[in-house]
Amino acid sequence: MLFEQNRKRIFSLAYQYTKNKEDAEDILQETFIKTYNYLDKYKVENETNFSSWIYRIGINCSIDYLRKKKNKKEDFSDWDKWEKTIGSNHSNPEHTIGLEQLREKISHLVEELSPRQRMTFILKHYQQFSIKEIAEYLDCSEGSVKKQLFRAVSAIRSPLKKYLWEKDYGMQKI
């Protein structure tokens, strides 16, 4: 069912974006309330398909949600704290890392991106939309999406490269 699909798609996107179930639920609720409120506008100005329209509302709600949350947070840079917890595994003589640790590291790096960069990266890397589709969803040019994507990948790549090198994750072979 279309409704069922939309509900799941939006929750999945919101969860990948926030990495928090409660936040993703808040975004889902906000998306459906906004959809209901703007339904008349959709019927009048309809140019796009309904699923894309509601998905776009979901994307905007996610970005707005994160912006508001970041503004509220006085200190959202808990990088040092994270580094101490995860990075303390140096006691391991082999310096190897588990998949879960790596996931956490990547998740943290993605969290450090700006709300828009994060959304661009998630839509491309995890939701696998084309640059053209992302441009439509974010209502911007393809060039702008490419720039955001490059910046996002660069911001993740450098610290991750360093981290993988330190943890001997096959980077020396290159």
Residues that bind another protein in the complex, under the rule CB under 8 A: 1-3, 6-7, 11-12, 15-16, 21, 24-25, 28-29, 32-33, 35-37, 39, 42-43, 46, 49-51, 54, 99, 102-103, 106, 124-126, 130-131, 146, 149-150, 153-154, 156-157, 160-161, 164, 169-171, 174
**Smallest distance from the beta carbon of 75 to another protein, in angstroms?**
27
| Residue 25, burial from CB neighbour count under 10 angstroms (0-12, 13-18, 19+) | middle
What is residue 63's three-state secondary structure?
helix
**Nearest one of 1, 4, 19 to 126, comparing CA atoms:** 19
Q: Which is nearer to another protein, 74 or 99 (CB)?
A: 99
User: What span, in angstroms and rounded, lies between the C-alpha atoms of 4 and 171?
Assistant: 43
25 or 136: CB nearest another protein: 25
